[in-house]
Amino acid sequence: MFIWLFHRLSGLTLIVLIGIKILTGFYLLPKDNRPDWALSLHRHPVIDVLIVVLFTFHSIYGIRTVIIDLGFRKEKLLFWISNILATIISAVLIYFFVRFS
């Protein structure tokens, strides 16, 4: 039940966060009159890290759902494998984000 709920909520949150990134990007297009709130929101590292982590877990949980739909019966094992894999991928991506930004 946790994965089902998290998968739905992370999808909705990703829609909102990516919508914020796109909206603030449009405000930053003109060379003059760039609003300060759009610049600070567009370059906010917490939003970027949230997008990376939510995207990683959302995609891994989606792959897990497909594997279960294909007939894999060991859901508990798949739960732990998907969590460990998503955590490792998220940690690596956050490391590269922090190091190169």
pLDDT of residue 59 exceeding 90: yes
| Residue 63 to residue 61: CA distance in whole angstroms | 5
Above pLDDT 90, what percent of the chain? 71
* Banded model confidence at residue 2, pLDDT cuts 50, 70, 90: confident
pLDDT of residue 84 exceeding 90: yes
Domain limits for position 41: 2-100
Mind giving me the DSSP string for 28-88?
TSSSS---HHHHHHHT-HHHHHHHHHHHHHHHHHHHHHHHHHTT---HHHHHHHHHHHHHH
- Considering the chain, what is the average pLDDT of its residues? 92
Tell me what pLDDT residue 40 has. 87
Task: Return the H-helix or E-strand segment holding 71.
Answer: none
User: Which pair of tokens denotes residue 91?
Assistant: 């940690």
In the chain, % helix, strand, coil (3-state, to 5) comes to: 85, 0, 15
Q: Is 101 helix (H, G, I), strand (E, B) or coil?
A: coil
pLDDT, tens digit (0-9, with 9 covering 90-100), for 10-52? 999 999 999 999 999 888 888 788 888 888 888 889 999 999 9
Q: What's the pTM?
A: 0.87
How many domains does the chain fold into?
Answer: 1
